[in-house]
Amino acid sequence: MNYLLHILIMINIYIPLALSLNLLVGYTGLLSMCHAAFYGIGAYTTTLLMVNLKVPFFPALFAGILFSSLLSLLIAYPSLRLRGDYFVLASLGFQIIVFSILYNWVSLTRGPYGIPGIPKPSLFGFEIDSLPFFFLFSLFFAGITFLAFRSLYSSPFGLVLKCIRDDELATIAMGKNTTFFKIWAFVIASGFAAISGALYATYVTYIDPTSFTLDESIFILTLVMVGGAGNLKGPLSGVVFLIILPEVLRFLGLPDTVAPNVRQMIYGGLIIYLMRKRPQGLLGEYRWR
């Protein structure tokens, strides 16, 4: 039972990541390779406030969202003027810089030693320390994210983003300031990634920079690409499928020494296959051309 709850909590933690990256990949047409950076910024901001300044969970979470969104502005404005490969490279660069800061600014982040003993969140003086409660807690955030993105995707704002993805020049011709919309998409996506960071940190109660590497960014992108981009059920199916897959492999009796590599090879193979045969992913809507 606890094992099952753990998997469900991990799915809940990854839902905001996948849905927010979908806003960039599937709605705005931006292949962002730095989502783990915002995930990490959210996790570290929340953690440092909770551990060092004894701030309660909700204000710390709020600060994490705010800080992640603010930092995203720093990268969004310059790199959104670039398109295609240059944007990919800029986002890769940002990912590596953020990881490098988390890893090397030892006096603030404790670098490779990580931060242990992160307190569990508490709600009205009630500490959420058991798995079933944490599951409900994470489900609450996954649910809020789901509802937020559902209304966002079908809002006029979401339509303009889709329009940018399909034909940016035409969108400009219709009098929309596309840079403004892309920056907002970036800011919103980064804020939601920070929620996942805060949940992850308080769930595992220990963080170190290796959870927020380029590989993690690639994994989040894989979630969206395998499930499919451009609607809600695509990324959701990607999260469920790719979080459960390792557990299925475990039941198939794959030894733990080779399991991570085999899993990654399956991800890689899936991407190659889907790009060739089914660019919209399992249940997605947007076909990469």
C-beta closer to other proteins: residue 152 or 270? 270
- The distance of closest approach from Cβ of residue 220 to other proteins in the complex, given in angstroms and rounded to an integer, is 13
Angle at the Cα of 112 (from 108 to 115), degrees rounded to 5? 60
Angle at the Cα of 246 (from 242 to 251), degrees rounded to 5? 135
What are the b/e assignments for 160-183, b being 16+ CB within 10 Å? bbbbbbeebeebeeeebebeebbb
Largest Cα separation within the chain, whole Å, is 58
C-beta closer to other proteins: residue 12 or 165? 165
- The distance of closest approach from Cβ of residue 30 to other proteins in the complex, given in angstroms and rounded to an integer, is 10
- The distance of closest approach from Cβ of residue 34 to other proteins in the complex, given in angstroms and rounded to an integer, is 11
C-beta closer to other proteins: residue 205 or 264? 264
End-to-end Cα distance, the chain: 43
Distances from the Cα of 71 to the Cα of 12, 59, 187, 286, angstroms: 24, 18, 9, 28
SS3 236: helix
Q: What is the distance of C-alpha 154 from the center of its chain?
A: 21
Both tokens of 39, joined, read: 């995930």
The total of other beta-carbon atoms located within 10 Å of residue 256's CB is 7
- The distance of closest approach from Cβ of residue 261 to other proteins in the complex, given in angstroms and rounded to an integer, is 4
- The distance of closest approach from Cβ of residue 56 to other proteins in the complex, given in angstroms and rounded to an integer, is 33
C-beta closer to other proteins: residue 96 or 283? 96
- The distance of closest approach from Cβ of residue 122 to other proteins in the complex, given in angstroms and rounded to an integer, is 36
- The distance of closest approach from Cβ of residue 125 to other proteins in the complex, given in angstroms and rounded to an integer, is 42
C-beta closer to other proteins: residue 103 or 133? 103
C-beta closer to other proteins: residue 6 or 162? 162
C-beta closer to other proteins: residue 207 or 218? 218
Query: How would you classify the pairing of strands 126-127 and 122-123?
Result: antiparallel
List contacts with other proteins (CB under 8 A). 29, 31, 75, 78-79, 81-86, 88-90, 92-94, 96-97, 100-101, 103-104, 214, 218, 221-222, 225, 258, 260-262, 264-265, 267-272, 275-276, 279, 288-289
